[in-house]
Structures are given as C-alpha cells and as structure tokens.
Structure 1
C-alpha cells in the first residue's frame, strides 16, 4: 500500500482528495496548520471511509518542523494543497501569500531531493493564464503576467517545480484547476470558509441561508452574454479524482516528461448570473443579490479545454453544475 502525504489535507479540496485516495487503496498522512480548516474534518473523513488518516498539525513555513516530519515518516508521493488561495486577499497581503505559498513549496522539494523521494502533485490554478486570448483555454495557451499575487505564486510555484524536476530528475504534475465547488455526497465534508467567503458559491449558499444579507455580483459590464464574469465550475469530487489519476500516472511511470501540467475543469463556462439562476432552480431558494463594481484581479472569462487531461490521465468530469450546486446547498443546510 503506497503512503501519500497530503498537505492542507483538511481543507476543501484536500479533504475530498484524501477520501478518494483512501477509496483507491492509498494510505494517507495529512499535514495541516488549521489556519483555514477545522480539526473536525478529520473525523468526518474517517466516518466516510472508515479509515482514520495519520494527522500532523504542522506549519510548513517552519523549516525544522518540515525536516523533522520527513525524518520520522516515509512517503511514496506528495499532493501539495497547503497554500493561501483568495485573489482579493492576496492583493491586500502579498507578502503573506509569497511566504505561505512559495517558501513551503521550496522546503518540501528540498526534502524530496535530499531523500530521493518522487511523485509530486501540485495544486495549481487557471489563474496562470491570466485573461487568455482564446477560449476554451488549452495547455498551449501562454502564461501571462499574473493579475494577482495569488496567481503569481502559482506561476512561480510551477517554475520552481519545473526547474527542480530538470535539475534533480524529480517527477511532478501540476493540475491547473478552474473553479471547484460542491460537497461530498455524504454531506460530511464541503467548503467551509472561515470568515467572509472569498469565492462565489459559499457566498451564494450563505446568502440563501440568511447568514449573509446580500450577494455581491462583481461587475455586469464584462464583454460576456449577460455582462457578468464567466468561469468553469467543477464539482470538487471530480477534481479530487483527477489527483488520483495524476498520482497513478506518476507511480506507474506513465509520465512523458519530468514535469507535466494539465487543465482540470468541465470545459464549459457559466456566468455568475447563470450560476445564480441555476442555484435558484435546483434549490427553490431566491437569492438577494446586487450588482457592484468589478473586483481587483478578476478577469472576464476562463474555461478549460480538457482534451489533454481526458486523454493522458484517462479522467473526465462526471457531475453537472446543477448537481454541484445542490450538493453545496445541502452542505450549507447541514451547517
């Protein structure tokens, strides 16, 4: 049984990926500093799979703690989620983002190099493309100057991994996510932002639940059919399964280069207003929303061409936008 380290494993995407790893027969060890997650998630994962993952509360910014972890644990691969991830916050707190997202990555890769470990999956983002010239976005699209410090940390992160792979013959895959939403079918894990949500769907569900008075729609003057920004919303369980596919590609030595990257989305763009209407339809809840000014760092439209991931990873999405929205609402109701 292969043992996989999942950093940030109690977070939204991390927890769903831990469940899918366990379902696929992997042993899992989690590192999380609980800065944007809750320890209760560990019990929820255990209640879904019947297996309690090993857990270390550890801050990856502390180099000695990272070294001590690897002195005491042997792993067959790493899936690295631990990072700060809000575009707006990154504009306000760039140094926090550079410290949290870059130094932690470097410390992990240093340990992998020293110990001759392999199989690294990086949680990247479609933000590396900026506002792409052509839609849907393929992996051949150029990366553009980042619109936010968050996006920049993903670009720099990929460059650091690529250089490390070339120098030390590590094998790594970066998955460039589009917009993960939804919750596990069990409704035991889902997206639980601490404080004011930075992403659309938790703000939608919290508004529907009466926690937030009003949903802000940032801009209706984009050059899109209804004027609101367009994104590719992928169910988090589909996204989690992409990590298993990528990991198995590395473990089975099916990768064609030391460093590879894949788009992970549905291939379909939905505008903010389309998402709001779809949510109202599947839940029967009316949303109180208001059009406000555009937000710094936001782009007009982004949705994936997933041909490469479908072919090379033998992976594709299975769940619809409506299923994802309904699961997100059921999760919110449970809270």
Structure 2
C-alpha cells in the first residue's frame, strides 16, 4: 500500500484529494491543525507546517501532495521537515501568468504579477521556485478554476442558489467572456497518473481543453437543477465581482502536455451535475458572499 502525505485535508481540494486516495487504496496521511473534521480513513498528523520538528522524519512517503503551499516559506519549512519521499506534487495556479501575456498560456509563458490575483500569484511563483531549488524532480500542476463537490468557494453554488430561488440572473455584459475549468476528480486522477507513470514533463498546465462562455456556464448550472435562466444583461461600468463569481478577466491555458498523459476529462455538464448533487446536501459548507444583497440594492429592476 502506497503512502501519500496530503497537506491540508479538511477543505475543498485537499479534502477531496484525501478522500479520493483513501478510496483508491492508498495509506493517506493528512497534515493539518485538526481544527475541522477529518476525512474518514486518514491518519492525522496534527501540526502546523511551519513548526514540524521531526514529526515527519519517521515515515517514508511514496508521494507528497502539497495542496496548501501558497508561499516559498510553506515549501521551505515542509521540505526541510520531510524524511524520505519519492515524489513531490505541488498544486500551483494559473494565477502565475500575468493578465497581459500572450494566450493561450503555455508552461514556458512569462510568469509575473497578475493584477487580478496580486500576491496570491506572485507567492505561488515564489513557492514554485523554492520547490524546484530543493526538489529538482518535483511536479508542479497549474490548474484554472477548479470545481466539483466540496467546493467551498461561492462560484457554481451562487448560480445554484439563483436557480433554486428562481431569480433572474444578472449577466456581465452579453455573457461572452470565457472561463476554463477543471473538475477536482480530474485533478486527482491526473495526480494518480503522475504517481504511477512518472511522466517526463514535470510542469503541467491542466484543465478542460474547451473554454465556456459565462452565459453557457450559467445555463449549464441551471440545467443541472432542471432550471432555465432568465438573463438580465448588465452593461453598467461597475465591478462585476460585486454581483458575479468571477473577475472580468478571460484567460486560456494550453493543456497539450496534460492531454498526452491524461486526455479525457469529465464533461462540464456531468461535472456540474456532480457539483449540484453535493451542494443540495451541503449548502451550509460554502462561504457565501453578499451577491444577492448587492443585486437587490443596485441592479434589480422594479
């Protein structure tokens, strides 16, 4: 039985990863501060990643799945504390690419501050650099917007709430802005391919090949609940993040490297059905934002 260390393990991606690898037959260790319920079947290592001492030295891990590395210090402290391990996979982000860069972004595209993501993106750049300086054969995965069950970010859940309440949907402009997604199960399956096959390429953009307009995405979200949206186009010059789940920023990752090792991804329709099913039973686990209040006060028609 392979041993895998998952950093985090209690929220969205890291929680899903922990549960996925338990179900896949791995011996899963999770590193967190035990402030939230743990996934059934994991072995908890209760600690702060910045104050580990020798707690990790005694266990030889086949893989480290670092889901919660956001800064170079996160990497430096964890790698220093590890004993033996065979592979290290870091989940980075498409936020490492600046908004002005030539698209689609490839793994060799310039990395620099993105005005929409700010320090989050530049800290991820620093974390990648720190990792490759210490673990030269590490794998770095750069996803676009992740979605699926356990998503505590108010994205598809906001649209589900609109659909469930039969509200009009206030759409930025004509809704043609494109988004790129990747289901969290696809992320796990890809990680399993990396662990088993050790692919030649170590830095990977990942995501669905196809982008989707926000209008089509909202329509698919409604459809997953058996609903049809009634759109109101918003052309006012206001920050769309006040009433919509995404920044006014369109980008596209080239995922050719991923396709060589993991060619088939979950369709957006099936993925959103999966998300909706989970949300209907776990709506209180999502960090909701006051989009409805803003819409009702500033956009709603009489």
TM-score (norm 1): 0.71
Match of 2:75 in 1: 105
Q: 1:106 to 1:301 in 2, by over 3 A?
A: same
Alignment partners' CA distance in 2, 1:55 and 1:201? 30
1:226-237 map, 5 Å: 226=174, 229-237=177-185
Alignment partners' CA distance in 1, 2:278 and 2:48? 28
1:172-191 map, 5 Å: 172-183=138-149, 190-191=150-151
1:72-87 map, 5 Å: 72-83=58-69
1:77-226 map, 5 Å: 77-83=63-69, 101-112=71-82, 115-131=83-99, 133-147=101-115, 148-165=118-135, 170-183=136-149, 190-191=150-151, 193=152, 197=153, 199-210=154-165, 219-220=172-173, 226=174
Alignment partners' CA distance in 2, 1:234 and 1:70? 31
Offset of 1:216 from its aligned partner?
Answer: 6.9
TM-score (norm 2): 0.78
Contact 1:205 1:328 in 2 (8 A): no
- 2:239 counterpart of 1:293: yes
Which digits, 9 at most, give the CA deviation of each residue in 1:210-251, with x for residues without a partner? 5xx88776x53xxxxx4554221122111111111122244x
Alignment partners' CA distance in 2, 1:34 and 1:323? 33
Offset of 1:54 from its aligned partner?
Answer: 0.7
Contact 1:80 1:120 in 2 (8 A): yes
Contact 1:282 1:326 in 2 (8 A): yes
Higher helix share: 1
User: Unpaired segments of 5 or more residues in structure 2?
Assistant: 283-302
Contact 2:30 2:43 in 1 (8 A): yes
Match of 1:58 in 2: 47
Q: 1:106 to 1:283 in 2, by over 3 A?
A: same
Contact 2:113 2:119 in 1 (8 A): no
Offset of 1:71 from its aligned partner?
Answer: 3.7
Match of 1:2 in 2: 2
Offset of 1:2 from its aligned partner?
Answer: 2.0
Q: 1:70 to 1:130 in 2, by over 3 A?
A: same
Greater relative contact order (Cα 8 A, min sep 6): structure 1 or 2?
A: 1
Q: 1:54 to 1:206 in 2, by over 3 A?
A: farther
Alignment partners' CA distance in 2, 1:4 and 1:159? 23
Q: 1:227 to 1:214 in 2, by over 3 A?
A: closer
Offset of 1:126 from its aligned partner?
Answer: 0.9
Q: 1:102 to 1:203 in 2, by over 3 A?
A: farther
Contact 2:99 2:114 in 1 (8 A): no
